[in-house]
Amino acid sequence: MLEGLAQLLELQRLDDELAAFEKEHAGLPARRETVEQRRSEAEAELGRAAEALTAAELGMRQAETALQDNEAELVRLENQQFQVKSNDVYSALLREIEAAKNTISEAETGILESMDAIEAAAAARSTAEGVSKEASAALDTEIASIDDREKELREKIEQHGAGRLELVPKVAPELLKHYERISKRRSPAVVLVSIELCGGCRVGIPAQDFIEIQRGERVVTCGNCKRILLHQAKVETAEAL
Ligand SMILES: [Zn+2]
pLDDT tens-place string over residues 147-193: 999 999 999 999 999 999 999 999 999 999 999 999 999 999 999 99
- Plot region of 226 (φ>0 → left; ψ -120 to 50 → alpha; else → beta): left
pLDDT recorded at residue 29: 97
Query: DSSP letters of the chain?
Result: --S-HHHHHHHHHHHHHHHHHHHHHHHHHHHHHHHHHHHHHHHHHHHHHHHHHHHHHHHHHHHHHHHHHHHHHHHHHHHHTTT--SHHHHHHHHHHHHHHHHHHHHHHHHHHHHHHHHHHHHHHHHHHHHHHHHHHHHHHHHHHHHHHHHHHHHHHHHHHHHHHHHHGGGS-HHHHHHHHHHTTT-SSSEEEESSSB-TTT-PBPPHHHHHHHHHTSS--B-TTT--EEEEHHHHHHHHH-
Q: Are residues 25 and 51 in the same domain?
A: yes
**Using CA atoms, how far apart are residues 6 and 160, in angstroms rounded to an integer?**
17
> Which of 128, 144, 169 is the last residue in one of the domains?
169
Segment 72-85 mean pLDDT: 92
Average pLDDT of the chain is 95
Distance 18 CA to ligand 1 centre (A): 24
Q: How far is the CA of 120 from the centre of ligand 1 (A)?
A: 70
Residue 241: pLDDT over 80: no
pTM (two decimals)? 0.75
Give percent of the chain above pLDDT 70.
100
User: Does 2 map to a domain?
Assistant: no
Alpha carbon of 203 to ligand 1 centroid (Å)? 6
Please check whether residues 115 and 229 belong to one and the same domain. Answer: no
| For residues 210-229, average pLDDT | 95
- What are the backbone dihedrals phi and psi of residue 229, each rounded to the nearest 5 degrees, phi first? -105, 125
pLDDT value at residue 192: 96
Question: Domain end: 114, 146, 169, which one?
Answer: 169
Give residue 43's pLDDT: 93
Same domain membership, residue 209 and residue 112: no
Please answer whether residues 219 and 189 qualify as being in contact, where contact means their C-beta atoms are separated by less than 8 angstroms: no
**160: domain range?**
10-169
**Domain boundary, last residue among 169, 186, 219:** 169
Give the amino acid at 104: I
CA of 201 to the centre of ligand 1 (A): 4
Q: How far is the CA of 229 from the centre of ligand 1 (A)?
A: 8
Mean pLDDT of 73-78: 95
- Give 196 Cα–ligand 1 centroid separation in angstroms: 11
Query: Which contacts qualify for 28-35: CB closer than 8 Å, 24 or more apart?
Result: 28/146, 28/149, 28/150, 28/153, 31/146, 32/143, 32/146, 35/139, 35/142, 35/143, 35/146
Q: Which one, of 186, 130, 225, 193, lies nearest residue 15 by Cα?
A: 186
Task: Report the C-alpha gap between 147 and 29 in whole angstroms.
Answer: 10
Residues 164 and 185 in one domain: no
One domain for residues 101 and 198? no
Domains contained in the chain, number: 2
Tell me: do 127 and 195 sit in the same domain: no
55 and 136 together in one domain = yes
First-last CA distance in the chain:
13
Ligand 1 center to residue 178 CA distance, Å?
A: 14
User: For the segment 16-67, what is each residue's pLDDT rounded down to a tens digit?
Assistant: 999 999 999 999 999 999 999 999 999 999 999 999 999 999 999 999 999 9
Nearest to 121 by CA among 129, 110, 131, 109: 129
Residue 163 Cα to ligand 1 middle (Å): 28
Based on the fold, state whether residues 31 and 131 are members of the same structural domain. yes
d(CA 233, ligand 1 centre) in Å: 19
CA of 226 to the centre of ligand 1 (A): 6
Give percent of the chain above pLDDT 90.
93
Distance (angstroms) between ligand 1 centre and the Cα of 180 equals 17
According to the model, what pLDDT value does residue 18 have?
96
